[in-house]
Amino acid sequence: MAEVKKIITVKIFRFNPKEGQNPKYQTYKIPLTEGMSVLSILKYIYENEDSSLAFYYSCRIGKCNGCYLIVNGKIVKACTTIVHDDITIEPLHGFKIIRDLVVDLKVKT
């Protein structure tokens, strides 16, 4: 249905401190269609490529402020940020990391 515009490279921060895994970046090749957000990409990965990816979101429409991440070095909401090219996705800085992109907003580091 949706025409794939191009294949992009998505680099994602992975870390599981509770189970002793070291931080690393993992790369995924994703078919980008028109009008995909960072959240659409994360959901695509979770559903089709790698269900072990941990990330938090709720409303998908820019209102709950639950999906703030760092994309290409900038703090953005994953759901309202549209992807046009390769991206690097990291968790918010300054908070304890629970796993991958999920941080504990109550514990600052």
Point out which residues bind another protein (CB under 8 A).
1-2, 16, 18-19, 33-37, 39-40, 46-47, 51-56, 58-66, 77, 79-80, 82, 98-100, 102, 104-105
Task: Give least dist CB 53 to another protein, A.
Answer: 8
Task: Give least dist CB 11 to another protein, A.
Answer: 20
Task: Give least dist CB 88 to another protein, A.
Answer: 19
Task: Give least dist CB 27 to another protein, A.
Answer: 19
Which of 7/61 has CB closer to another protein? 61
Which of 9/58 has CB closer to another protein? 58
Q: Using DSSP, state whether 93 is helix, strand or coil.
A: coil
Which pairs with CB-CB distance under 8 Å and at least 24 residues apart come from 30-33?
A: 31/4, 31/6, 31/7, 32/4, 32/5, 32/6, 32/7, 32/8, 32/83, 33/2, 33/3, 33/4, 33/5
